[in-house]
Chain A
Amino acid sequence: MTLSSQILQFFFTGLTVGSIYGMVGLGFGIIYNATTIINLAQGEFVMLGGLIMVFFTTVLKFPLYIGCPLTIVGVTVIGALFEFFAIHPLRNASLLTLVIITIAASILFRGIAMFIWGKDPYALPPFTLGGPIIIGGAVIMPQAFWVLGASMIIVIFMGLFFGKTIIGKAMSACSFNPMAASLMGINVRKMILLSFALSAGLGAVAGVVITPISLMEYDRGLMLAVKGFCAAVLGGLGIGYGAVVAGFLIGILESFTAGLVHSGFKDAVALVILLFILCLKPSGIFGSEEVDSIKKL
């Protein structure tokens, strides 16, 4: 393999992984927008998405077009239940307690997943058959296009949802000022429930499309949550397209570090970026400090 084809290979690998980070980051943003909670259980939704999909397709032998929607609906329900049983009863507690409860949920989901699926990683057949595609010497699995496609569709869908629909606009209103939003007749309670359901569903999509490439095991969630959070902060917390672009950026940098420097340091990249961005421009690449200061009041 020549250097140029290697670089191309790292680029495509990074793009695939990065779109998962972007989707997780997007999920962070949705919950953060509605509640200002940093949901550290975000990565567990991806893990659950992958493992439930494995259950539907390899154990129950459901075809893809049934297993996939069932998984997404299932994880969406789990997200809603999580809000209903853990976040809602503590709605008057401090933000600190709420963040800790997302950590508790993260451990709990991981424990349950280990109880059900054990510690082994699970594989999933790719969505479409066919050999790898070779572009300029770089090998790309067809599944990578599914991942990229899913993230693109989700970005467009989210853009339309928050920009064009009443529910979406109501959800963004909650983030700016929940009190004012409720005075405008918006049911803030429902919006929070919806935000958890929505971002759980999003996580499930990410889990379903990535499992055929990278396998899935019970303890994958927390690291995904960290990377997704890095993407969300880098792009500007609460800015949808920002999280996705930043996710690509982190994925690509990570893949280059793994390939050109040392694979052991791969996981450190996103975190170093996070610490830098928090020092230099905490509102993120696409965020503006003015908007942030209005939101936080």
Chain B
Amino acid sequence: MGKNNFRTLIIFTICLGVFPIFIQSDYFLSIMIFIGINAIAAMGLSLLMGYAGQISLGHAAFFGIGAYCSSVLTVKFGFSIFAAFICGVFLSVVMAVAIAVPTLKLKGHYLAVATLGFGEIIYIIFNELLDITGGPSGFSGIPHITFFGHAVEGGIKYFYLVWAIAILLLIFSLNVIYSRIGRALRAVHGSHVATEAMGVNVSWLKVQVFILSAVYASIGGSLYAHFVTFISPPTFSLFASILLLIMVVIGGSNIWGALLGAGILTILPQYLTAFKDFDILVYGVILMAILLFMPEGLLNGLTSLVKWLREKR
């Protein structure tokens, strides 16, 4: 995973581990939990964008599939929490394959529009299947996660659960980047033709990354459902997909950037209540400004700014 990443990872994990010791307010803990959940989904998307060079505009749908599987299967069909969670992941994988295989065979950004369409279809299904999903009025009574009979419901317990999973996925992602798959994907950035000539099946590689990112989103969705215990379709709308995309773009399409982006975009709305009706405008301006002035993202932009200042001195 690289020496630098390993050091950052250790520091990051320790910081998170001691966070609840200093701050125990439920409000801040729940914000941290939401950051963790968003970070899981954003990490997957950043793998897709940063390494496969593709955009997904339907990641909220995978998030939703995870959330609805975890809720509906446990409440209505008596599945165990773990079984329902696995079903959500499995369903996301099936859907991801169905979208990605035809679209990633093609060059160009067909995946962006196919996922946009897919996200809308899933949103329509959440709204229209009244008997199963509860339709627009939402689905409530989702159980808390239990471990050997102990319910994980308090802020601190759930905080550790979410971030433990997030850190595991972070380690996994960093390993993927430094594995054969990651190297092959970086080679595609250099030359598509040359990579294929080396015997790499580029489109299958991209499909794999897309599946992985869908799984991340689905895991995030399941964690979300068990934390808030009530879900309704607007959480999984197109706008949510776009917010995930903005997280990745703001951070800069790498894994650490995704964490930063998830943090910023989860905290920001808490302080933007004054702009409540104009949040779209604010997000549009932020995204446009980042793209125009810091196309490498905030993380890279700030590092190069610091470097530039040091050199100037």
By a beta-carbon cutoff of 8 Å, the part of chain A in contact with chain B is 36, 38, 40, 86, 89-90, 93-97, 99-101, 103-105, 107-112, 114-115, 222-223, 226, 229-230, 233, 262, 264-265, 267-268, 270-272, 274-275, 278-279, 282, 296
Contact = CB atoms under 8 A, between A and B. Distances in A.
A101 B288 CA distance: 7
A268 B121 contact: yes
B278 A115 contact: yes
Contacts of A108: 281, 284-285, 287-288
B108 A110 contact: no
A109 B287 CA distance: 12
Given A38-B112, A100-B245, A275 B99 contact: yes
A110 B277 CA distance: 12
Contacts of B127: 264
A165 B54 CA distance: 36
B288 A115 contact: no
B108 A230 contact: no
Contacts, number: 124
Interface residues of B, number: 43
Given A226-B116, A271-B118, A104 B128 contact: no
A111 B280 contact: yes
Nearest to A38: B109
A110 B284 contact: yes
A115 B281 contact: yes
Contact of A278 (B106, B109, B121): B106
Per DSSP, chain B at the interface is: helix
Per DSSP, chain A at the interface is: helix
B295 interface: yes
Contacts of B107: 296
Contacts of B105: 282
Contacts of A268: 120-121, 124
B108 A114 contact: no
A158 B291 CA distance: 33
Contacts of B110: 233, 278, 282
11 contacts: A86-B292, A97-B291, A100-B291, A101-B292, A108-B285, A111-B283, A114-B277, A230-B117, A271-B117, A275-B99, A279-B102
B295 A97 contact: yes
Q: Which 3 pairs show the lowest CB-CB distances between chains A and B?
A: A111-B281, A271-B117, A108-B284
A282 B102 contact: yes
Contacts of B55: 96, 99-100, 103
Contact of B278 (A97, A114, A278): A114
B106 A282 contact: yes
Contact of A275 (B54, B114, B249): B114
Nearest to B282: A111
Contacts of A271: 117-118, 120-121
